Structure 1
């Protein structure tokens, strides 16, 4: 009877061990997804903090705070422009592919690390094909959805007219009359004031996001830069960076001329 009880106990322990193994490896995708969600929450919190800080500085600049004036001001010159000017951008598929590959590598590394932890505990790895398949299906759906979002986000057209600035995008059309502009500013998205040098210096020392605001509305646009090897850019100019650079410099000069507003730096 004692031998029988011992045999039952050993088999029960083996079954319980296998069940724990199956549960542990089945949880690996959930651990990886939980890690992704945690990183996203941290990123979202930092963006929220940045938006609150930027809104305070925007109100301060609108009241004429000279401490927020940009170090370099675009030169107003009536001879620089002939309107209308159309500035177009499109999706940069090479940048999207680079981003998708990085995401896949990170997720695979997270899965591999979780598997190593499982092996260090149980000395074996139980392969759950359904969980692995679901894991990769979620990744594929995420990347496909991101491709549509990136394409929609990247397709933007700016039209510089004699009466104002028009922005056409997937989110609709915006128009800002020169007479309504009360604030012309660099938005606080990335970098600090120490990277703001002269407007005629290299691409990579330039701010990337500008805005013009009226009492009720705000129109923002991005000044694209040629990405360096370690940077990811979802958008690129249709006409190439040389022509695009000339167009954007002209746009800044037109705004300074037409609105008579100085450029503020909200970073």
Structure 2
């Protein structure tokens, strides 16, 4: 059985259809990227999987153990980094559990600092640690690297890929960057007009070398499927909205 199953899922806001009869199975342990132009319904689909939006019609099957990335950072500024990671945990060993997670994301040295002293990439690492301690089965990411500089973005992509392989999560990531999609995912779902237009498999296992020549044709194919008229351009921000803030990972209760 798949970890996530969507059957005939539709969603409308004020009578305007955003999703139309979406059918999608996401296998346990897979990494799926969802791409589409602004208004294609990709973030709405992710929120429905997370249980943050209710579908207008259709059925959704998934685990209760999942974490989701929001658009803005959600670290509590009056708590230290380690206390942010352990927030909501129970048990006498909760601080040790949080420290172990910070070690895994490479931020043990920042355990006692305040969140406002962190860079954007460091804040995202703390958010990953906060997800780790809750042992999710499914990780949902909504454009988690969109506000990072190029080098930090590659570093965070590597970290998410390494954690995915280490923990065996099922990951679903919404992104506007086709290069990011083919670098990390094993399948890319192309949304358009609220429906699944095509599902493109990506050979190998992410995170892939960004200079891998095999990635360019796949990225180009995705751009063509999305109707992007820029020949030879591998990467494109498909959203027309202003630059978003870096997102963080928070558990869904």
For Structure 1 versus Structure 2, the TM-score category normalised by the shorter chain is under 0.3
Q: How does the TM-score come out when normalised to structure 2?
A: 0.22
Q: Name the structure with the higher helix share.
A: 1
Answer with 1 or 2: which has the greater Rg: 1
Q: How does the TM-score come out when normalised to structure 1?
A: 0.21
